[in-house]
Structure 1
Amino acid sequence: MPLRHAIEHHARQCPDALAVCISGTSLSYGALFERLKRLHNALTALPHRRHADLSLPSDARLFAVAIGNQPAAATLLPAALATPHAVMLLDPQWPAALHQRMLAKLPPDVVFCLSSQTALIEAAERLSIPAITVDTDAFETFLTTPIDLPLTNPRDTFMVGFTSGTTSQPKAFARARHSWRASLDASRLAFALTEQSNTFAPGPLAHGISLYALAETLELGATFHAITRFDLADAHRAMATTRRIVAVPSLLAALCHGTPQDQIIEITTAGAKLDPALLAKARDFFPRARIHEYYGASELGFVSLNTHGRSSSSAPANSVGRPFPHVELSIRENGAEVAQGQAGTIFVRGDLAIEGYLWGGRNSGFRREGPWATVGDLGKLNYDGSLTLLGREGGMVITAGHNVYPQEIETALGEIPGITSALVLGRTHHSRGQELVAILLGDTPLEEIRSQLAIRLPRYKLPRRFFRLTDWPLTSSGKPDRGTLLNWLDEKDARLVPLHPAT
């Protein structure tokens, strides 16, 4: 069912039911639907800019949102899901200069921002773009009398998102409504969702995993909870009335403190591989929960899924699971499929992928080969049907003439008791071309690490240098920041403690 119909249905059947709550600011389904009709009328009244690269009806507008998890997001983000208008998701953590470049590249019809974002407001004014501050009376004043919501076209754009991938310059992509409609059908089944799946997403709503969780929850008629900024006490208050959590692994780890939460029965996580220590910790802290760990990409949607029960998993723990419903996988090299068990580039076929980037896609990993699409991730399909992720094209390390995928070593490190998380990087070496460097969280002695790796990996895949640190530097999406770690290695930063053999 299109989200516009789902929200209207819930508004008519249970108008007082709680739809969205952000740090105590709540909207019922009846109030949400009424605000969507008011916002739709206000947006339609704005002067129309031509957006040649987007598929938008004549009465639709492109509105930019840079407010993070401010309570007005409870109205603005569902508007992109349930009205003909499209949202341009600007990360509030971006520097001012980057916000300005994005507005200049794709000027929206209006920008919703915070009064403290003065550089963004000034940039919008220079481009003659109205800037509405949502933390003042301006937002409520902007909303006008409600009008009926029109039907939406599945082929129209509803979101312009950004992904940096392996570069620091964001790449823009447009996503059509039909791709998320197909995704919602698939994830409802895969994640065992019902109208009782009240969901807490502690991460930024500007990121796909949280925004998608909002769409899932509203379609079901359940309640979506978020918090304006991460605070453990606020998070536990939000979790108290929910049955499901959606979070990247770093935030899932942050939640696992205090009293175990036995009311949580479903957890969805993505963005990085769950290491064995965190999986064990989550199983203990959420004793009744199934943990759905999926692998995907902003450009591709869902790719594969591994569901972890109390004591077993639906696929080998060191894999990223089996193909997601409605998705076919193919491991290909030079346009041809490789044999099962051999390494190659992971391609997907289904209804969930984008068509391409609006800009910034040159030399990127995303490309299409007929009906198949890839972001350049490397992997292999195992004989049990599961998928093993090996790294990304361009991320392969060539050391002493051998091709090595860091992900394989990181998986082996994660299986060693005492290591809670690991990253492997390739650095230039005068004689080997590149050398493998492992950075770890955990207290396992170096001799034990080396002896355990020697059992699991051939000699040429063993890192030559090991470092320990206490916390990962993170990107804005909550993933370990490999670029920062490489800089720390070059600068001999004291946060990286070299491991030496015991004397």
Structure 2
Amino acid sequence: MPLRHALDHHARQRPDALAVALSDTRLSYGALYNRIKRLHAALCALPQQARPDLPLPDGARNFALSIGNHPEAPTLLATALATPHVVTLLDPQWPDRLHQRVLAKLPPDVLFCLSSQTGLIDTAARLGIPAIAIDTTAFAAFLQAPQDIPFTHPRDIFMVGFTSGTTSEPKAFARARHSWRASLDASRLAFALTDQSHTFAPGPLSHGITLYALAETLDLGASFHALPKFDLSATHKAMAETRRIVAVPSLLGALCRDTPQEQIVEITTAGAKLDPALLTKARQHFPRARVHEYYGASELGFVSLNTHGPQSSSAPSYSVGRPFPHVELSLRQNGAEVAQGTAGTIFVRGDLAIDGYLWGGRTSGFRREGPWATVGDVGKLNSDGSLSLLGREGGMVITAGHNVYPQEIETALADIAGIDAAVVFGLAHPSRGQELIAIIQGDAALDELKSQLAIRLPRYKLPRHIYRLSEWPLTSSGKPDRGRLMSWLHEKDPRLVSATG
């Protein structure tokens, strides 16, 4: 659990079927499972360290991984999914000092990295952690003769993940096997997946949406396709062998080029709100595809889903859909549920959430109220039962005495033709408390933009200043880099061009 039974079954029943294709490396289910059993044997041979903060079952080891989309990444990740071992999923984009702090807090039994990551290797040496460069002969030498994989317990941990933190301390959490087993069962139905749902995921395997796509695809017995790094010509070759795409909106937009791809019938996207212009572009470029847009969080799993067909959607485009299967929603303030249409903190109840953080998050982020869990997102339930996101607790802007959530304005901006992306901030103002500032990407005329916003929003929610930006900064997970944008605002960076004078 979650993948031990599925991989064993596929390896016995269809050993020659393609499991993983990454760069020039192609592994069948038989070859992948054999390689997992060899890696399992090698991990079992390592001395087991005492881990009071991360209790592991007998015989399990914790291995840290920081190799990006190297061809060995799917085997290492599938090993954590199918064996008793646990992967600590480091982000290769982290600075060396952040890697050092994380490894010191949770030293693994072994670190798998690249030979070019000299700072990471030096840190491991200082901490007494064996480091194996998987792009050298050391990895092949590490593997041992195949060893049968024991059954795993649903409550055992299989992954230590991190919510964020390229410049500050990330919040660490442990995820148990049963939560992804429940997720896999739910998403199979919600996304209409079969053993023919051959999947292309162009994003980093260290990010949740891509890693989950790998688990989803291997559970089905379909083939998973990825790239060492994003390259447009390579994407077309990969898409030619697939029927499904899993990508954050920024990468999905990059795929909508050249000739339409009629072989793609399902698309799954998350990580940021899918704006109407991109949805229209995706419908044109993938004319046979349904687009499954879900809202969720690393700590909560799936929360809600909006499925867009060629002509219609299962929920309004301004919403993030209706509750995901197996998930209940409750919008609450001070422990009590709020009325429909009233802003409240979004709580979920189901089998998909974590138990809590290993460290970090004492003053923000994930928390529980009885059986209900939240990460502090604020929203409201619409009259049709769909959910709209308004922002994050503490992210509310108070302007001229009015409470405003920036995401509501961002959603309104994204619904205007000619706007490709939008971010809204509240900046300090001497008389208004805070004033609303919008940064947009797109060629919508200012007069049209203002008139359309006036239709959608009350006067006090209209941005006082609007800036245009031609090159949109993104985080490593493909989301708008709000920190950099805020810095540019304060620094009056010339890349921000005033549209309002």
TM range (shorter): over 0.9
1:473 is aligned to 2:460: no
For 1:166 and 1:405, locate their aligned partners in 2 and report how far apart those are by CA, in whole Å. 25
Aligned to 1:358: 358
1:380-407: CA deviation from partner (whole Å, max 9, x where unpaired): 1112110011111011111111100111
User: CA shift at 1:54, angstroms?
Assistant: 2.2
Unaligned runs of 5+ in 2: none
> What is the rounded CA distance, in whole Å, between the counterparts of 2:456 and 2:474 in structure 1?
29
Q: Which residue of 2 aligns with 1:16?
A: 16
1:210 lines up with 2:210 in the alignment: yes
Instruction: Report the CA distance between 1:165 and its aligned residue.
Output: 7.4
Distance 1:43 1:100 in 2: 23
Find the residue that maps to 2:280 and give its secondary structure.
Answer: helix
TM-score for the superposition, normalised by structure 1: 0.98
Q: Structure 1 residues 244 and 170, CA, compared in 2 at 3 Å: closer, same or farther?
A: same
Q: Distance in 1 between matches of 2:48 and 2:304?
A: 40
Q: Which amino acid aligns with 1:84?
A: P
Encode CA deviations 1:101-148: one digit per residue, 9 max, x unaligned.
Answer: 110010000000000000100100111100000001111110011110
Assess if the C-alpha contact under 8 Å between 1:210 and 1:246 holds in 2.
Answer: yes
Aligned twin of 2:266:
266
Displaced runs of 4 or more, over 4 A: none
Q: Which residue of 2 aligns with 1:487?
A: 487
The whole-number CA distance in structure 1 between the counterparts of 2:115 and 2:2 is 34
Distance 1:444 1:183 in 2: 40
Q: Please state whether the residue corresponding to 2:257 is helix, strand or coil.
A: coil
Alignment-mate amino acid for residue 175 of structure 1: R
Deviation at 1:166, TM superposition (A): 11
Q: Which whole-Å CA distance do the structure 2 matches of 1:264 and 1:395 have between them?
A: 38
CA distance in 1, matches of 2:377, 2:142: 44
Please give the alpha-carbon distance, in whole angstroms, between the structure 2 residues aligned to 1:298 and 1:289: 26
| Pairwise CA distance, 1:184 | 0.3
Query: In the TM superposition, what are the counterparts of 1:46-445 in structure 2 within 5 Å?
Result: 46-164=46-164, 168-445=168-445
Query: What is the CA-CA distance between 1:417 and the residue it aligns to?
Result: 1.4
Partner SS for 2:355: coil
Which stretch shows the higher mean deviation, 173-182 or 420-429? 420-429
CA distance in 2, matches of 1:369, 1:183: 22
Q: Secondary structure at the match of 2:33?
A: helix
Q: Residues 315-340 of structure 1: CA distance to partner in whole angstroms, max 9, x if unpaired?
A: 01100000000000000000000111
Displacement after TM superposition at 1:4 (Å): 0.4
Kept after mapping to 2: 8 A contact 1:340/1:382: yes
For residues 290 and 169 of structure 1, what CA distance do their matches in structure 2 show?
38
Q: CA deviation at 1:49?
A: 1.0
**Residue pair 1:365, 1:393 contacting (<8 A) in 2 also:** no
Contact 2:2 2:178 in 1 (8 A): no
Q: Per-residue deviation at 1:429?
A: 1.1
The secondary structure found in structure 2 opposite 1:354 is: coil
1:38-78 Cα deviation digits (max 9, x unpaired)? 10110011111112222311200000000000001121000
Amino acid at match of 1:55: P
Cα RMSD (Å):
1.1
Deviation at 1:437, TM superposition (A): 0.4
Q: Which amino acid aligns with 2:182?
A: A
Q: CA deviation at 1:259?
A: 1.2
In 1, distance between residues paired with 2:24 and 2:166? 37
Cα separation, 2, equivalents of 1:165 and 1:67: 18
Q: Would you say the 8 A contact 2:2–2:180 is kept in 1?
A: no
Which digits, 9 at most, give the CA deviation of each residue in 1:288-335, with x for residues without a partner? 000000000000000000000001000011000000000000000000
Query: Bigger CA drift: 251-260 or 291-300?
Result: 251-260
Moved more, 360-369 or 283-292: 360-369
TM, length-normalised to structure 2: 0.99
For residues 237 and 349 of structure 1, the distance between their equivalents in structure 2, rounded to whole angstroms, comes to: 41
**CA offsets, 1:211-236, max 9 Å, x none?**
00000000000000000000011111
How far 1:421 sits from its partner (Å)?
1.4
2:422 counterpart SS class? strand
Distance 1:420 1:55 in 2: 46
Q: Tell me how far 1:168 sits from its aligned partner.
A: 3.4
Q: Distance in 2 between matches of 1:445 and 1:298?
A: 38
Give how far 1:5 is off: 0.8
The CA distance in 1 between the partners of 2:387 and 2:225, in whole Å, is: 32
Larger mean CA deviation between 173-182 and 411-420 belongs to 411-420
Instruction: Report how many aligned residue pairs link the two structures.
Output: 501
Indicate the percent of aligned positions where both proteins have the same amino acid. Answer: 76
Q: Secondary structure at the match of 1:69?
A: coil
Conservation of the 8 A alpha-carbon contact between 1:27 and 1:74:
no
Counterpart residue identity of residue 381, structure 2? L
How far off its partner does 1:167 sit?
A: 8.1
Work out whether residues 343 and 379 of structure 1, in 8 Å CA contact, stay in contact via their aligned partners in 2. Answer: yes
Q: Residue 33 of structure 2 corresponds to which residue in structure 1?
A: 33
Query: 1:4 aligns to what?
Result: 4
Give the Cα separation in 2 of the matches to 1:126 and 1:455.
61
CA distance in 1, matches of 2:156, 2:392: 31
SS in 1 for 2:391: strand
